A and B are shown apart, each in its own frame.
Chain A
Amino acid sequence: MPATYEPIATTTLSTAASSITFSSIPSTYTDLRVVFVGTGTTSVGLKARFNGDTGTNYSYTELFGNGTGVFSGRGTSLNYFSLDPQRNLSTTIPIMNTLDVFSYAGSTNKTTLVTQSDDENGVGVILNMAHLWRSTSAINEISLLVFSSTITAGSIATLYGIKNA
């Protein structure tokens, strides 16, 4: 059986940084998956962008639970993906995010599925999101970033490629 789930690149921050970028992503896979586990040097939201696009081409629909109820929401015409719109990165407890990008090398708009698994023994959120990037360009770069802060040293982000054959 062929290998169909392969690591493309990984970053473990040795020092705090405002972003983690995977560039020159080959177009040889079917789908991509990013797994992030980490913290922020301040309580700050984790974002993502494709191909460095800062245009208002991102939107999402979310479903989340926070221990008191289950809610849904929507964001339109944003200039980034929010990976944690309901709860920022913790400064102490690592949070897990996954980002699945389907048909990333195709010529249609790109749909992604994002999860956030955040429990901090007293607060937290479990979140699933459908994201849309309204671009027909193949994705060759994915950046995880925070604004006006940094991602803590020791945080890990790994990019995997998934093949259908």
Chain B
Amino acid sequence: MPNTYQLISSNVLSSNVASVTFSSIPATYTDLVMRWSVRDSNVSVNANNFIYYNGNSSTTSYSQTYFRGGNSNGVSSTRNTDDNDIYLGYNNGSTSTSNTFSSGELYIPNYASTSTRPMSSFLANEENSTSSGWMHINAGLYRGTNAITSITLTASVNFLANSSFYLYGISKS
């Protein structure tokens, strides 16, 4: 049988950047998986992380339902409608425990479809602190009518050097 979990592209940062884009994603797979390990230059313990597709960050093509827990504050759930992007959660900011990177995974089924597409994401940061550390799990929806050919992750300020991003394609045959 073929190997169907294939690396499409990767990006390990050599310098700080505000966003990372995987473009020209071939339509030859069934689903996409993206995994990343990042730290943000935002002078904070936590730094927001977003994604959008196909350069589409100016229209209300996204919505999401998510829950998250951590920071010793219990758990909460939020729903956003008609958003400009998908909120992935908190990455480690520059004042979090040094040398600590958050980890995330995004799964997009049927990404080459031209109809409405769901997605799921998971993002976690843990830093050996009694006052911070988060888990964030998201169900998102993209209502764009074009196949997904690019994915952009945006940092709160900048993704720091040595942050890494991997995009995989999964085929059903």
Classify the secondary structure of B's interface with A.
Answer: strand
Q: Quick check: is A19 within 8 A (CB to CB) of the other chain?
A: no
Q: Which of B5, B78, B143 contacts A67 (CB 8 A)?
A: B78
B115: A residues at CB distance < 8 A: 94
Known contacts A65-B77, A70-B75, A124-B65: A119-B118 contact under CB 8 Å: yes
Contact residues of A between 74 and 126, Cβ < 8 Å to B: 93-96, 98, 115-126
Q: Which residues of B contact A124 (CB under 8 A)?
A: 63-65, 79, 139, 141
Bound complex: CA A139 to CA B3 (Å):
23
Closest to A95 in B: B118
Q: How far is A44 from B6 in the complex, measured between Cα atoms in Å?
A: 35
Set of chain B residues within 8 Å of A96, measured between Cβ atoms: 107, 109, 118-120, 139
User: Residue of B at shortest CB range from A69?
Assistant: B77
Q: Which of B110-148 contact A (CB under 8 A)?
A: 110, 115-120, 137-141, 143
Question: In this complex, which of B1, B2, B110 has the most chain A Cβ atoms within 10 angstroms of its Cβ?
Answer: B110
Interface residues of A (CB under 8 A from B): 3-7, 10, 35, 37, 63-70, 93-96, 98, 115-126, 128, 156, 158, 160
Q: Which residues of A contact B110 (CB under 8 A)?
A: 37, 94, 156
CB of A105 to closest CB in B, whole Å: 17
Total cross-chain contacts (CB, 8 A): 129
Bound state CA distance, A10 and B81, in angstroms?
Answer: 32
B99 at the interface (CB under 8 A from A): no
Given contacts A3-B3, A126-B65, is CB(A94)–CB(B116) below 8 Å?
yes
A95 surroundings in chain B (CB, below 8 A):
118
The one of B76, B109, B141, B143 in contact with A70, judged by C-beta atoms closer than 8 angstroms, is: B76
The answer, among B78, B119, B143, B171, for a CB contact under 8 Å with A117, is B119
Chain A residues with CB below 8 A from B139, complex form: 96, 116-119, 124-126
Residue of B nearest to A3 (CB): B3
Tell me whether A119 and B140 are in contact in the complex, defined as CB-CB below 8 angstroms, given that A65-B66, A156-B110 are known contacts.
Answer: yes
Cα-based distance from A6 to B116 in the complex (angstroms): 26
New contact pairs (7) apart from A118-B65, A119-B141, CB-CB < 8 Å:
A65-B67, A93-B141, A117-B118, A121-B82, A122-B81, A158-B30, A158-B172
Complex interface: chain B residues within 8 A of A156 (CB): 30, 109-110, 172
CB distance from A94 to the nearest CB of B (A): 6
Given contacts A35-B31, A119-B141, A158-B30, contact A7 B173 (CB under 8 A): yes
A43 vs B67: C-alpha distance when bound (angstroms): 24
Report yes or no: A3 in contact with B2, Cβ–Cβ below 8 A: yes
- Residues in chain B near residue A120, CB distance under 8 A: 63, 141
Sample of 30 A–B contacts (CB below 8 Å): A3-B5, A5-B4, A7-B2, A7-B172, A7-B173, A10-B30, A37-B109, A37-B110, A63-B67, A66-B77, A66-B79, A67-B65, A67-B77, A70-B75, A96-B107, A98-B107, A116-B139, A117-B107, A119-B139, A121-B81, A121-B143, A122-B81, A124-B79, A125-B65, A126-B137, A156-B30, A156-B172, A158-B172, A160-B4, A160-B170
